[in-house]
């Protein structure tokens, strides 16, 4: 099983499981909560057929990676990513983050810069700053996140059942763009995640990525559904596109949070179009 060691907890290794397929320009796909690298099922064959090398991995605490009781913060997540990239010897790669994964993209470049990154993609992502504050009135009230933590502590399995209804906007798309079996599969993956990670990741959604986004100096694409009930478009994707220099915004009409499944064709077309473009970045100069 391909793994990269990212640390230790007492006597045990903390290892990340990853998959590395294809040849060509490397594309690193970073999954969202509470899933795993397997959640890129609709994107992997499309990218491979287009001639890219595709790397997916499971965040610590999720999928087939180790499940430690520590390290659930974005500085550690970014360091984990950096260790994976280093082990694989990657250069001139593309980072694509979905939901929580967009935080890794932002924090990685905030900490390590954009030197080896050729492009960045944020899909339904948590940046720039989800928490409502005096200098961030577009954010979400803290009470919403406190409620999520309370529900996870009480019964995380029941929480996941309700969570995935809004993850896919099942009331609108069940039987049309998503099946009961897909939702059940997502629930199964979430149930197999670390109980510690399931709870500890929630506060990380409140991370302030505004300074990180200011350091993104590569061509960037933001894709977001305008009906996202998990990470509201107005609080995230819409603002990220304004904060990243020269970023392009693609809005998926009626798209829920998991547009990578429900609107896979639209997402894949936008992604492939962006990847095929010449590398260029038009920086805007403030007036």
Please name which of 282, 192, 184, 264 lies closest in space to residue 225, comparing C-alpha atoms: 264
Q: Return the half-sphere exposure (C-beta side, CA atoms, 13 A cut-off) of residue 90.
A: 25
Look up 114 and say whether it is catalytic.
no
99 labelled catalytic? yes
Cα of first residue to Cα of last residue in the chain, in angstroms, is 53
Bridge partners (DSSP) listed for residue 169: none
Catalytic residue (one of 66, 99, 114, 260): 99
Structure tokens at 283: 């920086």
Which DSSP helix (H) or strand (E) runs through 16?
strand 12-21
What does the block give as tokens for 209?
A: 């990525």
Options 15, 58, 212, 228, the catalytic residue = 228
Q: Which residues, listed in sequence order, are joined to residue 19 by a DSSP beta bridge?
A: 56
Catalytic site residue from 31, 224, 257, 263: 257
Report whether 100 contacts 32 (CB < 8 A). yes
- Can you tell me whether residue 61 is helix, strand or coil? coil
Q: Is 21 a catalytic residue?
A: no
Q: What is the DSSP string of 151-213?
A: HHHHHHHHHHHHHHHHHTTHHHHBTTTB-HHHHHHHHHHHHTS-HHHHHHTGGGGG---HHHH
Q: Which residues are catalytic?
A: 99, 228, 257
């Amino acid at each position: 099983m391909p793994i990269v060691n990212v640390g230790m907890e007492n006597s045990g290794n903390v290892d990340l499981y990853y998959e590395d397929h294809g040849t060509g320009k490397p594309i690193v796909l970073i999954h969202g909560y509470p899933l795993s690298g397997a959640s890129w099922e609709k994107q992997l064959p499309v990218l491979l057929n287009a001639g890219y090398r595709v790397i997916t991995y499971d965040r610590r605490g999720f999928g087939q990676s180790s499940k430690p009781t520590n390290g659930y913060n974005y500085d550690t997540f970014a360091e984990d990513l950096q260790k994976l990239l280093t082990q694989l010897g990657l250069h001139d790669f593309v980072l694509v983050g979905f939901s929580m994964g967009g935080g890794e993209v932002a924090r990685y470049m905030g900490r390590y810069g954009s030197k080896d990154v050729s492009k960045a993609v944020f899909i339904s992502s948590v940046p720039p700053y989800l928490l409502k504050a005096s200098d961030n009135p577009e954010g979400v009230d803290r009470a919403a996140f406190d409620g999520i933590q309370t529900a996870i502590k009480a019964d995380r399995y029941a929480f996941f059942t309700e969570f995935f209804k809004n993850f896919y906007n099942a009331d609108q798309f069940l039987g049309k763009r998503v099946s009961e079996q897909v939702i059940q599969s997502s629930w199964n993956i979430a149930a197999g995640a670390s109980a510690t990670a399931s709870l500890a990741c929630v506060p990380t959604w409140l991370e302030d990525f505004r300074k990180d986004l200011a350091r993104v100096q590569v061509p960037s694409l933001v894709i977001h559904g305008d009906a996202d009930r998990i990470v509201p478009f107005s609080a995230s994707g819409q603002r990220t596109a304004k904060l990243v220099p020269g970023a392009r915004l693609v809005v998926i009409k009626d798209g829920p949070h998991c547009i990578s499944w429900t609107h896979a064709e639209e997402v894949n077309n936008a992604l492939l179009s962006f990847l095929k473009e010449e590398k260029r970045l038009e920086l805007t100069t403030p007036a």
